[in-house]
Amino acid sequence: MELTYRPRRLRRTPALRAMVRETTLAAADFIYPLFVHEGAEVEPIGAMPGANRWPLAELTGEVRRAWDLGVRCVVLFPKVAEGLKSEDGAECFNENGLIPRAIRQLKQEIPQMAIMTDVALDPYSCDGHDGIVSEEGVVLNDETIEQLCKQAVVQARAGADLIGPSDMMDGRVGALREALDDEGFEHVGIISYTAKYSSAYYGPFREALDSAPRSTSSKPIPKNKDTYQMDPANSREAITEAQLDEQEGADIMMVKPGLAYLDIIYRLRNESELPIAAYNVSGEYAMVKAAAERGWIDERAVVLETLLSFKRAGADLILTYHACDAAAWLLEG
């Protein structure tokens, strides 16, 4: 065949492929989600093989392991004791609560690690929602934001570097920015869950934190989060959310879930110059783990390909439970 251009020429050897590779993956791209609890033991999470709930006594060791592998940021999620949960989630701004203590501990022992937090009421709510549920069964927007602002300030005071509002209330980024600035925390960044979809991929996460919606009283509790998280059918709406978050002062914008929403990552990348994060969520993680345990897939190859796909779509950062494993594989080459 008389072909002038043969694309395979640049695929012929590992060296040539490396020279023209368009997208690269590094441990510093990862944000490592960690579940913490008040217990004394490390508790494996059944629906997330390889993931655990960490007691504070063991947390520093795991974070140090991540740092040594090249991971530069962790995000903390609390499993709150049942007796501390309430309808208004007031435990979320307890200065001596689990998350503030975890932040202070990590900042004292591994000060170079960036600490991101979660800002939402669902771990602290007896109703299991990201906001306050009214007596009529409506998730209240503005009243919820008042609680979130208190939560963010407490986390910033403890030493958080990045505040992560995952609640999807309208106007919360602007309110959080104002609350942080008023308390002298202008340096604390906001990594907003900009396009967080009402997804079926969150099941293992809700098991890890025991935070699914549930009824513990006579008032009606919404069975899902459809009235505040985004409809999976919508993509243009994500641009509206991104424009609002950018106007209100977000420093980084996130798409959650990641793998089923690569098109949303791509659209946000084309619409904004802000850094974009993708959340490789618990359901995505669990499916890979389950298939790997059965020998159906090569876990290392699938994980690294999946993470690379987030970068190729336009993500700068990836929240992933695979962070330490992937970082170790990248070091092996």
Catalytic positions are 196, 256
Nearest residue to 306 via CA among 35, 29, 53, 117: 29
What is the rounded distance in angstroms from the CA atom of residue 92 to the CA atom of residue 112? 25
As to burial, measured by CB atoms within 10 angstroms (0-12 exposed, 13-18 middle, 19+ buried), residue 312 is middle
String of DSSP letters for 94-162: -TTSHHHHHHHHHHHH-TTSEEEEEE-SGGGBTT--SSEEPTTSPEEHHHHHHHHHHHHHHHHHHT-SE
The count of C-alpha atoms lying within 13 angstroms of the C-alpha of 286, restricted to the half-sphere facing its C-beta, is 17
CB 31 within 8 A of CB 67: no
Nearest residue to 27 via CA among 324, 333, 332: 324
Phi–psi pair at 229, nearest 5 degrees:
-85, 160
Tokens of 203: 């099941």
